[in-house]
């Protein structure tokens, strides 16, 4: 039995199989401008305004602005975020919308009751708003503590190291989302404020048993989390037979990205490799995917739960019942629609074909040398 390495952002897919578990949370927190992702907020007069640098107004308001500035006070609420003009969108009053080049032609919006917190940290704008549908919503890139909460359920975990670049994220989560951030109180947790990539590169080879990377989308600085050098660093930090679970986008929006992720992982991780997906209502398209890989060593069966739940939905090795996860959900996560299965399996077939061709060339070379 061994260890686990973990990194978080928006959705959670936890693998806990080993007895001695050291978990490393790599929490990526990027500013809205760095992600090339715009968070637009238009509020009715009942919603308190926030400090501003960029005003976001409806087209009608822009037309009326000349000579009529006073009449427009309170209609458009500016948000303290650096946003390129080509990303600014018109939205109806009282709604928060996120627009990104990762999902062109779409926007994810929430009805807003009031803004609870807004402040700019060294790395990003952090906003907490009261949503009429979801309650409190944290508008950040990660660091809420959700994965930590799930990992800390397991008594077999001996040590959890969390690397978070933005201390404000942790503080805000503790203040506004105590049920989510409860894991920070666990005595097994060590919080490291700093760059997660540097932390990962500094750990000795074979330090962790599992790494969970729940990253931002692959644009801006987060793009490196989807490229070979990062996966190589992850593989180096894992013990033989160690496991990585990394955010792998939506099959409805990003098959071209998924294809590249699969190709990179097949080249680097020599153990088991699988793609899985689950529902996340707050992510565009409503689903998010995961790459699950293991390093060369003891075989890992991702498709079947290591510790199935009992009939009451309880986990024999975890504290408290689970609200969403069960054995059927686990198995179903690996069932792919035909179009996605074709792309992912085709990459695997291509990899096997390339290996066979290389082996054939080597054999021909050896035979010719003997002759």
Nearest to 165 by CA among 26, 35, 37: 26
Q: Which of 305, 248, 149, 212 is nearest to 3 (CA)?
A: 212
Q: Is 67 exposed, middle or buried (0-12, 13-18, 19+ CB in 10 A)?
A: exposed
From the list 214, 347, 354, 355, the catalytic residue is 214
Nearest to 28 by CA among 260, 257, 246: 246
Identify each DSSP E strand in 148-220 by its residue range: 157-164, 189-193, 208-213
Reduced to 3 states (helix: H, G, I; strand: E, B; else coil), residue 188 is coil
How many whole angstroms separate alpha carbon 80 and alpha carbon 159? 38
Q: 41 — phi, psi (to 5°)? A: -130, 120
Provide the 3-class DSSP secondary structure of residue 268: helix
Q: ∠ at Cα 292 (31, 148), nearest 5°?
A: 55
Active site residue 214: yes
Cβ atoms of 7 and 279 within 8 Å: the answer is no
Is residue 272 a contact partner of residue 234, using CB atoms and an 8 Å limit? Answer: no
Report the SS3 class of residue 60: helix
Question: Cβ distance 248 to 290 under 8 Å?
Answer: yes
Find out whether 25 and 160 touch, Cβ atoms under 8 Å.
yes
Q: Are 112 and 132 in contact (CB under 8 A)?
A: yes
Active site residues: 214
């Amino acid at each position: 039995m061994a260890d686990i390495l973990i990194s978080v952002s928006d959705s959670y897919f936890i693998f806990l199989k080993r007895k001695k578990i050291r978990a490393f949370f790599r929490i990526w927190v990027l500013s809205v401008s760095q992600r090339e992702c715009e968070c637009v907020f238009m509020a009715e007069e009942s919603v308190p305004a926030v400090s501003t640098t960029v005003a976001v107004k409806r087209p009608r308001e822009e037309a009326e602005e000349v000579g009529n500035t006073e009449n427009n006070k309170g209609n458009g609420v500016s948000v303290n975020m650096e946003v390129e003009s080509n990303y600014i969108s018109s939205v109806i009053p009282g709604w928060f919308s996120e627009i990104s080049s990762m999902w062109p032609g779409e926007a994810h919006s929430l009805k807003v009751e009031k803004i609870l917190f807004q402040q700019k940290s060294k790395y990003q704008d952090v906003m907490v708003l009261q949503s009429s549908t979801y309650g409190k919503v944290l508008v950040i890139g990660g660091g809420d503590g959700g994965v930590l909460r799930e990992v800390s359920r397991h008594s077999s975990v001996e040590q959890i190291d969390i690397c978070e670049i933005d201390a404000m994220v942790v503080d805000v989560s503790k203040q506004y989302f105590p049920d989510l951030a409860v894991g920070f109180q666990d005595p097994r947790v060590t919080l490291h404020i700093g760059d997660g990539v540097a932390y990962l590169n500094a750990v000795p080879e074979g330090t962790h048993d599992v790494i969970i990377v729940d990253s931002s989308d692959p644009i801006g600085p987060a793009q490196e989390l989807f490229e070979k050098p990062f996966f190589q660093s992850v593989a180096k930090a894992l013990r033989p037979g160690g496991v990585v679970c990394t955010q792998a986008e939506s099959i409805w929006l990003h098959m071209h990205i998924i294809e590249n992720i699969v190709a990179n992982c097949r080249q680097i991780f020599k153990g088991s490799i699988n793609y899985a997906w689950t529902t996340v209502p707050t992510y565009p398209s409503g689903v998010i995917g995961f790459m699950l890989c293991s390093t060369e060593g003891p075989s890992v069966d991702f498709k079947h739960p290591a510790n199935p739940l009992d009939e009451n939905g309880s986990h024999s090795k975890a504290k408290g019942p689970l609200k969403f996860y069960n054995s059927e959900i686990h198995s179903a996560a690996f069932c792919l629609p035909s179009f996605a299965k074709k792309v992912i399996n085709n990459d695997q077939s291509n990899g096997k074909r390339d290996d066979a061709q290389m082996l054939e060339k080597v054999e021909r070379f050896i035979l010719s040398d003997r002759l």
